[in-house]
Amino acid sequence: MQQARILIVDDEKSITQMIEMVLKKEGFRHIYKAYSAREALELLNRQEMDIILLDVMLPDQSGFELCPKVRDISRAHIIFLTARTSDLDVLTGFAIGGDDYVTKPFNPLEIAARIKARVRRDAILASSQGKQEERRRHDFGRFVLDESAGELWVQGKMVPCPAQVYQLLLFLCKNPNVVYSKSQLYEAVWGIDGVGDDNTVMVHIRKIRERIEADPGHPQLLLTVRGLGYKLVRGIAP
């Protein structure tokens, strides 16, 4: 039985019921539903969630407006459900605190697969953190990623780093000087096949560069290898 607490926020009851039915068949039992932003916030103030499926189009306010309010009270993994697929909409979703997105119409089994991958990954991380008590520091000259503390330091100053941005940077720090394609990075960090999720990786790569590079427009650490993907190299410049 899956123990993750999942909140579905969508005003279309047929969609919430369909997702709930599929998740229950996949073994999830702690499923909550909200049909408006107000209901979602009320639930989140009473009950901690692990994963939130958040529709962009809600009756009282948009999911984009709701997301920052959710981030104030919850560290749940937020997956946007949206029919809006423009680059601007996708970038907006990530900029305000979203972790992933699924476009409508979607196969509910894809939702279940993403949730299961996230739960599995969280369980592995929790087990790994419990076994490793030593401090782990990834020093790249200009920046240091302190894995045990979950902190990013750039030129001696701690820089805030959203969870998914941190996890992607951590993966790259653990595998320096290796080229990874967008789909390989998505599969490694988000936990499932990344075909078609280029935007997700590109947005998070940009967010990393905004934090660690002296000039994000001309990166010296997180490089693009044309036609292949990205690699993180060890920097020597302060």
Q: At residue 160, what is the residue type? A: P
Instruction: Give tens-digit pLDDT for 187-206.
Output: 888 877 655 567 889 999 99
**Residue-level pLDDT at 222:** 96
**Residue-level pLDDT at 134:** 42
Helix or strand or coil: residue 140?
coil
Q: Which domains does the chain have, with CATH numbers?
A: 2-128 (3.40.50.2300), 134-232 (1.10.10.10)
Q: Which of 178, 122, 173, 125 is nearest to 145 (CA)?
A: 173
Report the predicted TM-score, pTM, of the whole model to 2 decimal places.
0.61
Q: DSSP code of 147? A: T
**Residue-level pLDDT at 238:** 40
Which segments in the chain show pLDDT lower than 70?
1, 85, 87, 125-135, 193-197, 235-238
Q: DSSP code of 189? A: H
State both tokens at 129. Answer: 């953190």
Distance CA 74, CA 65 (A): 15
